[in-house]
Amino acid sequence: MINTKPYYITMKKTFFILIFLVNSYSIFSQSNECNDGGNFECGSLKDRGEIVITALDQLGCKYEKAHLYAMFPRITIYAGYVFKEITYCSSNEIDPYQGRLQFIYCMPDTCQEIDINIYDFNDPYFQTSTGKILKDITLMPFDATTSSALMGAHLTSSLNKFNNEIIISPRFGSIRGESDEVSYLAYHDDRYFIQIDIDDKNKRFTEPIQVENFISVYVNLIKL
């Protein structure tokens, strides 16, 4: 009798990676196309005035996420993207994003975004059954499997900031899938998970190394 269990496990893992990617792109990026010339809160640089990153003492999660806030670079403009807002700053203990903080930058007029997220897997939420499942699914792209290669996961070649780093997008996969986003993922000290999602509807990035080069300055300024 043929043992179908390994095949079943592989297919199950592929399914979870697909769910992870779909959820990542739909949750972490809330971009809009400014086809009307900029009817969007990011606006133009001249309309924004002074661009300031929200101070920690003005955040509702200033006690729970101070250590995550301290990790983000204090850069108001990066490669033409301007700071937009800090989101997912909940201090609600049952919030699944309790262990996460997100910074968003946007490109004026085009409304493209860069989302920078840091998770702390030491947060109590990730000790719960649902939190452990989310953590396991989140880290699946780091597995060197056919599934992760299919979905476009590539080890970084020039960055050496964190223990584990990959560039991922379906467009870099073996079947060259369609996607409007490219991402950088890092996992450090068995605790911190970093995700940077970049809107790229114009297909500016055709190879993983291009993404790597684009975010390298920002990544190297993240403090852990």
SS (H, E, C) 36-62: CCCCCCCCCHHHHCCCCCCCHHHCCCC
N-term to C-term CA, the chain: 51
* Greatest mean pLDDT among 10-24, 90-104, 121-135: 121-135
Q: At 26, is the pLDDT very low, low, confident or very high (cuts 50, 70, 90)?
A: very low
Q: At 199, is the pLDDT very low, low, confident or very high (cuts 50, 70, 90)?
A: very high
What tokens does 218 get? 């920002």
Q: In whole angstroms, what is the distance from residue 215 CA to residue 78 CA?
A: 9
Q: Is the pLDDT of residue 96 over 60?
A: no
Identify the pLDDT of residue 150: 78
- Is the model more confident about 95 or about 142? 142
State mean pLDDT over 78-95.
79
Q: In whole angstroms, what is the distance from residue 174 CA to residue 91 CA?
A: 41
Which DSSP helix (H) or strand (E) runs through 160? none
Spell out the long-range contacts of 124-130 with Cβ–Cβ below 8 A and sequence spacing 24 or more: 124/93, 124/98, 125/93, 125/95, 125/96, 125/98, 125/99, 126/99, 130/96
Q: In whole angstroms, what is the distance from residue 205 CA to residue 168 CA?
A: 11
- Is the model more confident about 158 or about 13? 158
Identify the pLDDT of residue 212: 96
Q: At 25, is the pLDDT very low, low, confident or very high (cuts 50, 70, 90)?
A: very low
State mean pLDDT over 199-213.
93
Q: Is the pLDDT of residue 136 over 70?
A: yes
Identify the pLDDT of residue 90: 66
Identify the pLDDT of residue 35: 47
Tokens 């903080």 belong to which residue?
101
How do beta strands 153-155 and 113-120 pair?
unpaired
- pTM exceeds cut of 0.85: no
Q: At 72, is the pLDDT very low, low, confident or very high (cuts 50, 70, 90)?
A: very high
Average pLDDT, the chain: 80
Q: Between 5-28 and 129-139, two packed helices, what is the crossing angle to 10 degrees?
A: 90
Which DSSP helix (H) or strand (E) runs through 10? helix 5-28
Q: At 44, is the pLDDT very low, low, confident or very high (cuts 50, 70, 90)?
A: low
Which DSSP helix (H) or strand (E) runs through 197? strand 192-199
208 φ/ψ angles, rounded to the nearest 5 degrees? -55, -35
Q: In whole angstroms, what is the distance from residue 217 CA to residue 119 CA?
A: 20
Question: Which candidate, 111, 137, 114, 135, places its Cα nearest to that of 125?
Answer: 135
Identify the pLDDT of residue 70: 95
DSSP per residue over 101-135, as a string?
EEEEEE-TTT--EEEEEEEETTSGGGGSHHHHHHH
State mean pLDDT over 85-96.
70
State mean pLDDT over 106-135.
89
CB 172 within 8 A of CB 163: no
